[in-house]
Amino acid sequence: MMVVKAGGRALESNMEGILRSISRRAGRGLVFVHGGGDIVTRFEEALGVEPRFVVSPQGIRSRLTTKEEMEVFNMVMSGKLNKEIVASLHRLGVGAVGLSGVDGGLMRAQRKKRIVIVDERGRRRAIEGGYTGSIKEVNTKLIETLTGMGYIVVVAPVALGYEGELLNVDADQAASAIASALKADQLVILTDVEGVLVDGELVKEIRVGEVDKLGGKIGVGMNRKVLMCARSVEAGVSRAVIASGLVDDPLENVEKGAGTIITR
């Protein structure tokens, strides 16, 4: 079982290459989680919804999702992007099923009603959490049933809250939670750089115990990816890799040793 996640920037630059790479591995048990935050932001701006981002004390940058933003987020992620990806995979000759975390209770999440952020002056303060969530449950039976039938499962990062609400859960978190729940053989996060870079140099391997030390040396977006990979490895995933999604065959590139491997 392999879980692959691609961010919106990598998809916008190389959707054809990423999906062709995935299609070549159809039938092996594959879940594809997609991002698309930049695309959501463009739709928000077009619809007059002001996007807002916050930074946690750990340096993690995330979208603060209001009720209005959640409507656009769900529309773009679960509707536009998810279905375009599924259609493209079918065009490439493989069966795919597109789901959000709401479908079949695929991902259940706890709404973050209060969160702690660091403001522009560097001060910590608690604010309302909006419609973001922390994933608590994954319906592995649904995934295993669909992959057992030969389908690639395409997942949009929208989860079902415990009060029946829709929640933004971040694609890196979703991929990590799904890989962890499935005890996947591999989690691959495809991004728009070749891996984890420190002082401009690619780091080939990071051990779970080294993750905290790297926090200040890598960007906030990459920081989240490394943290989610480490979490999945600790949960029993055999191997986690962060690599470029901009090459012709990203998964073949990973098989050849490209990217950054997170290990125990």
What's the CA gap between 235 and 258, in Å, rounded?
Answer: 23
User: Higher model confidence: residue 120 or residue 78?
Assistant: 78
Task: Name beta bridge partners: 263.
Answer: 207
Which pair of structure tokens corresponds to residue 131? 């419609």
Query: Picking from 7-16, 56-65, 194-203, 223-232, which range would have the lowest pLDDT averaged per residue?
Result: 56-65
Percent of the chain whose predicted confidence (pLDDT) is above 70? 99
Is the pLDDT score of 215 beyond 70? no
Is the pLDDT score of 54 beyond 90? no
What's the CA gap between 39 and 145, in Å, rounded?
Answer: 31
Is the pLDDT score of 44 beyond 90? yes
What residue ranges define each of the domains in the chain, with the CATH number in brackets? 2-263 (3.40.1160.10)
What DSSP character marks residue 70?
H
Provide the pLDDT for residue 199: 87
